[in-house]
Amino acid sequence: MIDFSNFYQLIAKSPLSHWLETLPAQVAAWQRDALHGKFREWERAVEFLPELTPWRLDLLHSVTAESETPLSEGHQRRIENLLKNLMPWRKGPYSLYGINIDTEWRSDWKWERVLPHLSDLTGRTILDVGCGSGYHMWRMIGAGAHLAVGIDPTQLFLCQFEAVRKLLGNDQRAHLLPLGIEQLPALEAFDTVFSMGVLYHRRSPLDHLWQLKDQLAPGGELVLETLVVEGDENTVLVPGDRYAQMRNVYFIPSAAALKLWLEKCGFIDVRIVDACVTSTEEQRRTEWMTTESLADFLDPQDQRKTVEGYPAPLRAVIIATKPETQQSAGEKSEIKKGPCLMGRGLVRAIIILGDMMCSKNRLTSPGGDNPFHLRHRCAIHGVASVFIGIGIGIG
């Protein structure tokens, strides 16, 4: 079983130490109750891989590991076959002892677009939300980060990450946890938080922005990369059943709207640093990812549109900062909970009053409730719904 004890020891004397109050129990519950049906198969592939120490390791310009003398053809083939048991490989590429994992995404292109706009990563503790197989975490380490922590609930990605780590000499500067961000407490301990390719998959995008902010230390930097559409600050695309064949796409704002959302969540120094259309050279089918890819999701007659008729994928990078001074947790709690609790009490009173009125005016009839009762009960409960809406809006 993949062992997380090294990570627990690593953070025990760090600003992340309070995470240990909840994390080990969460991971134990995952190991006990939530393993994917193929997880043991993937884990065995990782176990059979040799632990190799690179003679040359480049994480600054790529993710490349080389041995002093080339591996034998048979040794290399065995490693490649084990890695192919972990297909599909979506984020990369990796070059490991002469084995080139040509992933679906050229994630190195995204990194080159993002890197020039980042604050210096040297010595930083970083959180990568929705990190996939961890490619960008290795690049963060290459750029000087002290520690990169990735979270992603997809268990195949965890096994891919552990496979790469094993071939990089069991490097302990990066760690991947099989969790979603909603499972994290408000750690407020990371110098930089990345969320790349996640926001449009969230049913409540503003909640996601708040969750990201809760992980940042005061003065920390958010790096947000996501799908956007052209338009002003009031433009948000809400796709129907699918967008580019993806079912789980909920909100795609314009870059201007996204900037406004971030400011509404209390971020400062919000700036749009990059925007580009995703090309079929950056996302495509390969030997290591053999199913459909971007070319299959675009209109064959007009690649400026998806097969559903929406604008083709356009991605923006936005950088923002968490202010040095924040409201205390208690103040936030009062602001969020106070009006909601008051509203709920008022709602209960209105509903009780409505039921009393309807009971008093009820006329017996063979069908049960008469029209007078139903009409007034619906009206009273409608007023209650308005107050519920007000309470939710305030809270």
The answer to whether 105 is a known ligand-binding residue is: yes
200 a known binding residue? yes
The answer, yes or no, to whether the previous bond of 178 is cis (omega within 30 of 0) is no
- 339 carries a ligand binding annotation: no
Query: Is 315 known to sit in a ligand binding site?
Result: yes
The C-alpha atoms of residue 104 and residue 160 are separated, in whole angstroms, by: 14
264 is in an annotated binding site: no
Q: Is 154 annotated as a binding residue?
A: yes
User: Is-contact 146 211, C-beta < 8 A?
Assistant: no
The response to whether 30 counts as a known ligand-binding position is no
The reply to whether 182 sits in an annotated binding site is yes
Angle, alpha carbons 48-50-54 (nearest 5°)? 155
**Structure tokens given for 148:** 């990169």
Q: Pick the closest to residue 263 from 274, 255, 275, 251 (CA basis).
A: 255
Q: Is 232 annotated as a binding residue?
A: no
269 annotated among ligand-binding-site residues: no
The DSSP bridge pattern shows strands 94-96 and 99-101 to be antiparallel
Mark the binding-site residues, compressed into ranges.
91, 105, 110, 130, 152-154, 181-182, 196, 200, 315
Q: Residues comprising the binding site for carboxy-S-adenosyl-L-methionine? A: 91, 105, 110, 130, 152-154, 181-182, 196, 200, 315
